[in-house]
Structure 1
Amino acid sequence: MLIKEVMKKPIVVYDDDDLSNVIKLFREKKISGAPVLNKNGELVGIISESDIVKTIVTHNEDLNLILPSPLDLIELPLKTALKIEEFKEDLKKALKTKVKDVMTKNVIVVKPEMTINDAAKLMVEHKIKRLPVVDDEGNLVGIITRGDLIEALI
């Protein structure tokens, strides 16, 4: 079976999109990743939920909870509140991050005439979940995911 028989129309994002927009799109379309295009419509990367999660930074502060002193017991609620505020600020910054700053740039692609077996081998070999499908000129024409491969077996 050929990739062109099972590939789907790709839902794309652009390299200058904010992550907040990408997250909304992923939830709305029930997807976990998408090809990334530049303003000229050229495939320049791929972004996944794991790329987004990696951008969220948290601060791990040692709160010294073993045999706390009386002063620690007074400071603990304040330290916890500050930590939550720091996390909120980090999250706000992360959501403003541009796709081009966190996407995977070296994209492995497949051609429509390749077999689904070829796609499966690439996914396993490179530990990836989706492959953009490009024509001979390098234009994005589809996407194939692990789910598409499984669906094709039925």
Structure 2
Amino acid sequence: MVIFMLVKDVMKKPITVKDNDDLTEVIKLFREKRISGAPVLNDDGELVGIISESDIIKTLTTHDEDLNLILPSPLDLIELPLKTAIKIEEFKEDLKKALKTKVKDVMTKDVVVAKPDMTINDAAKLMVEHKIKRLPVVDEDGKLIGIITRGDIIEALV
């Protein structure tokens, strides 16, 4: 029965990123490989984190309270186009800076992992408990050997 399938039977070879990569590189990799997250390795090849699209989105999100468009005064109507142009330029600069952010500055450092001999049922429980979509799979030495996603588990059911 499917419930007794092991993580090692359905895990995939992981696509990884380095902790010193820029977000621009990660975004390109995610798009090219059609993935939404990846384990993060340091220069020694050790698993040090995990990064996902949501980590990137949080970094790129800006909140601007200064631009108030509700019931502008006549003076605001004159200044608004100039204020808007300035804010757009500031946003572009902020975005450029954000894209140069290093993975290690935005990744999730407390990584929940799976072991290859766990059942996929146990892996699914971990994902639900921790509200995560992927689990790096590590061997007894903590070395990354694979990854299992919610999609992998669902595919294993059919």
Report the 3-state secondary structure (helix = DSSP H, G, I; strand = E; otherwise coil) of the residue aligned with 1:47: strand
Report the 3-state secondary structure (helix = DSSP H, G, I; strand = E; otherwise coil) of the residue aligned with 1:39: coil
For residue 64 of structure 2, what is the amino acid of its counterpart? N
Counterpart residue number, 2:88: 84
**Identical counterparts, % of pairs:** 84
Q: Deviations over 1:60-109 (max 9, x none)?
A: 13444343222111111111111111111111011000000000001011
How many residue pairs align between the two structures? 154
Moved more, 52-61 or 120-129: 52-61
Q: What root-mean-square deviation, in Å, do the aligned CA atoms of Structure 1 and Structure 2 show?
A: 1.1
Counterpart residue number, 1:138: 142
Report the 3-state secondary structure (helix = DSSP H, G, I; strand = E; otherwise coil) of the residue aligned with 2:39: strand
Instruction: Extract unaligned runs of 5+ from structure 1.
Output: none
1:61-140 map, 5 Å = 61-140=65-144
Instruction: Extract unaligned runs of 5+ from structure 2.
Output: none
TM value normalised by structure 2 = 0.94
TM value normalised by structure 1 = 0.96
Among 51, 56, 60, the alignment partner of 1:56 is 60
